[in-house]
Structure 1
Amino acid sequence: MKLVVRVKLLPTPEQAAALEATLRACNRAATYAARVAFEQNVYSRNDLQKLVYAEVKSTFGLSAQPAVRAIKKTVDAYATLRTNLRSGNLGKVGSKRWAKATGSPLAFRAQAAQPFDDRCLSWQHGARTVSIWTLNGRLKGLHYTGQVDQLKTLAEFRRGESDLIYTKGKWYLLATCDIPDPEVFEPVDFLGVDRGIVNLATTSDGTNYQGRRLVRYRRWHAAKRSELQAKQTRSSVRRLARRAKKESRHATHVNHRIAKEIVAVAQRTGRGIAVEELGGIRDRVRLRRDQRATLSSWPFHQLGAHLAYKARRAGVPFLEVDPAHTSQCCPRCGNTERANRSTRDHFRCRRCGLAGPADHVAGVNVRNRARSAWVLVNAPVPVPG
Structure 2
Amino acid sequence: MPDAGCRMPDAVQTPALERALPAINEAANWVSAVSFEHFELKGSVRELRNRCYGELKARGFGAQAAQHIIKRVADAYTTLRSNIKAGNLGPEHRCLSWNYDTQTVSIWTLDGRIKNVRFVCSRGALKQLVEHRQGESDLAFRDGKWLLIATCEILEAPQFEPKGFIGVDRGITNLATTSDGDNHSGRRLGRYRRWQARKRAELQARQTRSAKQLLNKRARREARHATHINHKIAKTVVAVAQRTERGLALEQLKGIRERVTVPRDQRARQSSWPFHQLGSFIAYKAKRAGVPFIEVDPAYTSQRCPRCGHTERANRPTRDHFHCRRCGLAGPADHVAGANIAQRGATAWVFVNMPDPAPA
Q: Assess same fold via TM > 0.5.
A: yes
Q: Give yes or no for contact 2:174–2:183 (8 Å, CA) kept in 1.
A: yes
Of residues 24, 28, 34 in structure 2, which corresponds to 1:26? Answer: 24
How big is the alpha-carbon RMSD for the aligned residues of Structure 1 and Structure 2?
3.2
Distance 2:75 2:258 in 1: 33
1:151-166 alignment, distance < 5 Å: 151-166=126-141
Alpha carbons of 1:238 and 1:200: their partners in 2 closer, same or farther (altered >3 Å)?
Answer: same
Q: Which residue of 1 aligns with 2:189?
A: 214
- The structural deviation recorded for 1:326 is 0.8
Question: Which secondary structure does the structure 2 equivalent of 1:382 belong to?
Answer: coil
Q: Which residue of 2 aligns with 1:204?
A: 179
Q: Give yes or no for contact 2:241–2:248 (8 Å, CA) kept in 1.
A: yes
Alpha carbons of 1:214 and 1:73: their partners in 2 closer, same or farther (altered >3 Å)?
Answer: farther
Q: Give yes or no for contact 2:53–2:66 (8 Å, CA) kept in 1.
A: no
Structure 2 residue runs of 5 or longer lacking an equivalent are 1-5, 82-89
Distance 1:374 1:60 in 2: 60
Q: Give yes or no for contact 1:30–1:73 (8 Å, CA) kept in 2.
A: no
Q: Which residue of 1 aligns with 2:68?
A: 66
Of residues 65, 90, 106 in structure 2, which corresponds to 1:131? Answer: 106
Q: Give yes or no for contact 2:28–2:70 (8 Å, CA) kept in 1.
A: no
Distance 2:78 2:146 in 1: 23
Moved more, 258-267 or 67-76: 67-76
Distance 1:365 1:341 in 2: 14
Q: Which residue of 1 aligns with 2:168?
A: 193
Question: Which secondary structure does the structure 2 equivalent of 1:154 belong to?
Answer: helix
Distance 2:188 2:354 in 1: 44
Question: Which secondary structure does the structure 1 equivalent of 2:248 belong to?
Answer: strand
Q: Which residue of 2 aligns with 1:88?
A: none
- The structural deviation recorded for 1:226 is 0.8
CA deviations on 1:252-277 (whole Å, 9 max, x unpaired) are: 22212211211121111111111111
Q: Give yes or no for contact 2:321–2:333 (8 Å, CA) kept in 1.
A: yes
Moved more, 237-246 or 280-289: 280-289
Distance 1:41 1:300 in 2: 45
1:139-288 alignment, distance < 5 Å: 139-282=114-257
- The structural deviation recorded for 1:161 is 1.1
Distance 2:59 2:261 in 1: 53
Q: Which residue of 1 aligns with 2:278?
A: 303
Q: Give yes or no for contact 1:31–1:74 (8 Å, CA) kept in 2.
A: no
Q: Does 1:348 align with 2:350?
A: no
Alpha carbons of 1:198 and 1:268: their partners in 2 closer, same or farther (altered >3 Å)?
Answer: same
Q: Which residue of 1 aligns with 2:351?
A: 376
- Aligned partner letter, 1:17: P
- The structural deviation recorded for 1:345 is 1.2
Distance 1:183 1:361 in 2: 31
Q: Give yes or no for contact 2:167–2:341 (8 Å, CA) kept in 1.
A: yes
CA deviations on 1:3-43 (whole Å, 9 max, x unpaired) are: xxxxx9823444333322221211222343566689x5986
Alpha carbons of 1:265 and 1:287: their partners in 2 closer, same or farther (altered >3 Å)?
Answer: closer
Distance 1:60 1:279 in 2: 51
Q: Give yes or no for contact 2:139–2:149 (8 Å, CA) kept in 1.
A: yes
Alpha carbons of 1:375 and 1:119: their partners in 2 closer, same or farther (altered >3 Å)?
Answer: same
Q: Which residue of 1 aligns with 2:3?
A: none
Q: Which residue of 2 aligns with 1:4?
A: none
- The structural deviation recorded for 1:290 is 5.6
Alpha carbons of 1:45 and 1:232: their partners in 2 closer, same or farther (altered >3 Å)?
Answer: farther
Q: Which residue of 2 aligns with 1:120?
A: 95
- The structural deviation recorded for 1:208 is 1.3
- The structural deviation recorded for 1:284 is 5.1
Q: Which residue of 1 aligns with 2:87?
A: none
Distance 2:23 2:79 in 1: 18
Alpha carbons of 1:64 and 1:296: their partners in 2 closer, same or farther (altered >3 Å)?
Answer: same
Aligned length: 342
Question: Which secondary structure does the structure 1 equivalent of 2:151 belong to?
Answer: strand
Alpha carbons of 1:299 and 1:72: their partners in 2 closer, same or farther (altered >3 Å)?
Answer: farther
CA deviations on 1:340-368 (whole Å, 9 max, x unpaired) are: 22221112223222222111110000000
Q: Which residue of 1 aligns with 2:86?
A: none
- The structural deviation recorded for 1:237 is 3.9
Q: Give yes or no for contact 1:133–1:139 (8 Å, CA) kept in 2.
A: yes
Distance 2:317 2:328 in 1: 13
- Aligned partner letter, 2:339: V
Q: Which residue of 2 aligns with 1:87?
A: none
Q: Does 1:312 align with 2:311?
A: no
Moved more, 224-233 or 123-132: 123-132
- Aligned partner letter, 2:19: A
Alpha carbons of 1:275 and 1:161: their partners in 2 closer, same or farther (altered >3 Å)?
Answer: same
Q: Give yes or no for contact 1:9–1:173 (8 Å, CA) kept in 2.
A: no
Q: Which residue of 2 aligns with 1:16?
A: 14
TM-score (norm 2): 0.83
Q: Give yes or no for contact 2:301–2:337 (8 Å, CA) kept in 1.
A: yes
Q: Which residue of 2 aligns with 1:46?
A: 43
Question: Which secondary structure does the structure 2 equivalent of 1:145 belong to?
Answer: coil
